[in-house]
Amino acid sequence: MSGPSNVGDLGPDGMPGQPTRPPLAMVYGGGGLFGIAYTAGIAAGLLDAGLPVDTAPALGTSAGSWTAAAMALGLGFDTFSRARVVHVPNLRPGVVAALARELFGEARHPLVSASAVCLSTGRRHVLDGGALALADLVAASSAVPGLLPPHRVDGRLYIDGGVWSATSVDSVPGADRVIVVAPLAGAVLGPVGRAADLLLDRELGRWRHRHPGCVVDVIRPHREIARLAGRHLLSLFDPRRAHDVYPLGYEQGTRWASHLPEHDAA
């Protein structure tokens, strides 16, 4: 399969390039720079604890698409820390894509997918990192309306996948275990977090119905991390807050993995 794909047109597992059920799949949700730092911290903690998240198929939404791409390419959070910051709002065409290409070049990776919303139809598409440059995936998936510009992929303009869902977990393929990292769920941002939890629960219900026998886990920020999200949307794009979030996410990831049975972390 090539190019952007509507989730209704995908194979039975809902994501491109996954013909058999893998032992592990990752879902990284959105949340601005806060979300990048949190998902990257969790992923690094899980990896160092022995979970092979770097070789697992990964679906990213908005901020989570950056982490999905970085993990697949073996890039650590220091890659983001050294990158220039795009301050929002910034609607200059190509500004996000240029930053993404500085980080990822023209790399593609078949284990990476990203959700984005087609501007002309309002429908969610899952973009395939095996067929498209990862820089295009993350630029499309991260185009927050009013803050960052839409991004064109194969003739279609896309906006942030979070417009549809903060995680799009209902479009991830079946796997023996699916780990959902949800930066905006739970205690984060009060009513926003509660609404994200409700949507996530509905999506998980649909996913479990399609994939009986699969295990799904959700990792949410604890209250100390949630406080760093601030009280306003733009707080999620504060690089200083993100810098503080990463080590806390890493600690949470390693602690979470330590509670898994030993054979699950191999």
pLDDT tens for each residue of 25-81:
999 999 999 999 999 999 999 999 999 999 999 999 999 999 999 999 999 999 998
Has residue 34 been placed in a domain?
Answer: yes
Burial class (CB in 10 A: 0-12, 13-18, 19+), 9: exposed
Lowest-pLDDT choice from 8-12, 33-37, 67-71, 218-222 = 8-12
234: tokens are 């733009």
Instruction: Encode pLDDT of 90-137 as tens digits.
Output: 999 999 999 999 999 999 999 999 999 999 999 999 999 999 999 999
Has residue 265 been placed in a domain?
Answer: no
In the predicted structure, residue 215 carries a pLDDT above the cut 70: yes
Residues belonging to the active site: 62, 160
- For residues 197 and 150, the answer to whether their CB atoms sit within 8 Å is no
Cross-strand pairs, 124:
117
From residue 223, alpha-carbon distances to 33, 184, 220, 228, 252 in Å are: 18, 12, 9, 9, 12
Has residue 76 been placed in a domain?
Answer: yes
Residue 145 sits in which domain range? 24-258
The span from the CA of 67 to the CA of 40, in Å, is: 6
In the predicted structure, residue 10 carries a pLDDT above the cut 50: no
- For residues 207 and 172, the answer to whether their CB atoms sit within 8 Å is yes
What is the C-alpha radius of gyration for the chain, rounded to an integer number of angstroms? 16
Has residue 9 been placed in a domain?
Answer: no
Instruction: Encode pLDDT of 176-193 as tens digits.
Output: 999 999 999 987 778 888
190: tokens are 């009060």
Has residue 11 been placed in a domain?
Answer: no
Has residue 237 been placed in a domain?
Answer: yes
Tally of structural domains, the chain: 1
In the predicted structure, residue 236 carries a pLDDT above the cut 60: yes
Instruction: Encode pLDDT of 42-53 as tens digits.
Output: 999 999 999 999
In this predicted structure, what is the pLDDT of residue 26? 99
- For residues 134 and 112, the answer to whether their CB atoms sit within 8 Å is yes
Confidence of residue 4 (pLDDT cuts 50, 70, 90): very low
Please state whether the peptide bond connecting residue 89 to the residue before it is cis, i.e. omega within 30 degrees of 0.
yes
In this predicted structure, what is the pLDDT of residue 177? 96
Instruction: Encode pLDDT of 134-179 as tens digits.
Output: 999 999 999 999 999 999 999 999 999 999 999 999 999 899 999 9
In this predicted structure, what is the pLDDT of residue 9? 35
Has residue 13 been placed in a domain?
Answer: no
pTM for the full predicted model? 0.91
Q: Which residues contact 103 (CB under 8 A, 6 or more apart)?
A: 66, 69, 70, 75, 79, 80, 83, 135
What is the CATH classification number for the domain harbouring 152?
3.40.1090.10
In the predicted structure, residue 262 carries a pLDDT above the cut 70: no
